[in-house]
Amino acid sequence: MKASAQAHSNIALSKYWGKRDEKLILPNNSSVSMTLDKFFTVTTVDFDSRYSIDSFVLNGEKVGEGQEWKEVQGHLDLIRSMAHTKAKAKVVSNNNFPTAAGLASSASGMAALSLAGSKAAGLNLDKKELSILSRRGSGSASRSIEGGFVEWIKGSKSDGTDSFGRQIAKETHWPELRMIVNIVKSGAKKWKSRAGMAQTIATCPYYPVWEKTAQKDSDTMKELVIKKDFSAVGKLAEFNALKMHATMMTTQPPILYWHPVTMEIMQDIITWRDEGIESYFTIDAGPQVKILCLEKNEHKLVRRLNDIKGIEKIESCKAGPDAKILEKHLF
Ligand code: DP6
């Protein structure tokens, strides 16, 4: 059976960095994210007993080896075991943004694969089950099944059945909020999140501080998003991101995702804020800087960002929609 799905990427306002269970992908702390309207993955999955092997085409290129291939195959195996089938699959997937550059391509990719794959395998999963399945592919993907603002609840059970993404506010909740995504460099990053967070836990002397404080950040962020307290959301998002990067930098060997342009944008945001244009930044496992602001300052900020050399692309995003099934297939 064939099915297609679209899932949007999400950016965490309070981050996930570290697992308590690597196989089930269970986090050390909850996290809160905003789903983005402009960045998404479209995936078609076809399970058919006539296929002799699994195949995967990403952005027009065949992927037949490497980490990405292993992760997709592992996820297909998981779907097959849930659906009690042995049929092989053909998967075709397109991202409308650079892959593996710190723009959450694994989040939208695994969410789209989970939704299309489970439907194609004849499973009829609800949102919680879909989020749990997505989580098994990539932790942040658990937050890409629902749109708007999502909390990935840490959970406490060892089987992971209480660790999933749940919407805390709809896409329409905060129409004035913007996230301006600055694409600094679109090449693949040196440290993927998965290996990076494991290395941080193993060697960073400050990780225990992260572990002790990240849950509270997430709980507070959830309340602030519900209240639409822009200054407090921005301050906490920026602080939480810098705290995460402080643990990355003090990992051995160091994990440094920042480029000179990353630094330049951060410095400018702080200067412009002092001048009265209120905005805050957050950064994930890559050089891209995502800026939180309100609609009233959006155009002024984009104009100024346009003057910074080294930014390849600027996309101003609003909160985006839920993942959905598409009637049109990619093949
Ligand atoms: C820095 O979800 O990509 O973007 O679970 O190993 O697949 P895996 O990692 P991933 O990590 C995302 C880390 C982050 C922070 C966040 O999105 O919360």
Nearest CA to ligand 1 atom 3: 193
Instruction: Please report, for residues 285, 289, 313, the alpha-carbon distance to residue 266 in angstroms, rounded to integers and kept in the order given.
Output: 16, 8, 16
Please give all residues whose beta carbon lies within 6 A of any atom in ligand 1, as ranges: 12, 15-17, 25, 31, 106, 138-140, 193-194, 284-285
Cα of 300 vs centre of ligand 1, distance in Å, is 31
pLDDT in tens, 140-160: 999 999 999 999 999 999 999
Cα distance between residue 279 and residue 294, in whole Å: 8
Nearest CA to ligand 1 atom 14: 284
Is pLDDT of 185 > 90? no
pLDDT above 90: percentage of residues in the chain: 91
Question: Where are the alpha helices (H) located in 123-254, listed in sequence order?
Answer: 127-137, 193-203, 207-227, 230-249
Mean pLDDT of 222-240: 98
Mean pLDDT of 197-212: 98
Split at pLDDT 50, 70, 90, the class of 105 is confident
Is pLDDT of 100 > 90? no
Cα distance between residue 197 and residue 84, in whole Å: 33
The per-residue pLDDT of the chain, averaged, comes to 95
Is pLDDT of 102 > 60? no
Which atom of ligand 1 approaches the CA of 194 most closely?
6
The overall pTM is greater than 0.95: yes
pLDDT in tens, 311-331: 988 999 999 999 999 999 999
pLDDT in tens, 43-97: 999 999 999 999 999 999 999 998 889 999 999 999 999 999 999 999 999 998 7
What does the pLDDT read at residue 101? 54
Mutation to probe ligand 1, out of 67, 193, 251 (largest number of atoms < 8 A from CB): 193
Tell which residue, 127, 128, 124, 118, has the closest CA to residue 91.
118
pLDDT in tens, 2-24: 999 999 999 999 999 999 999 99
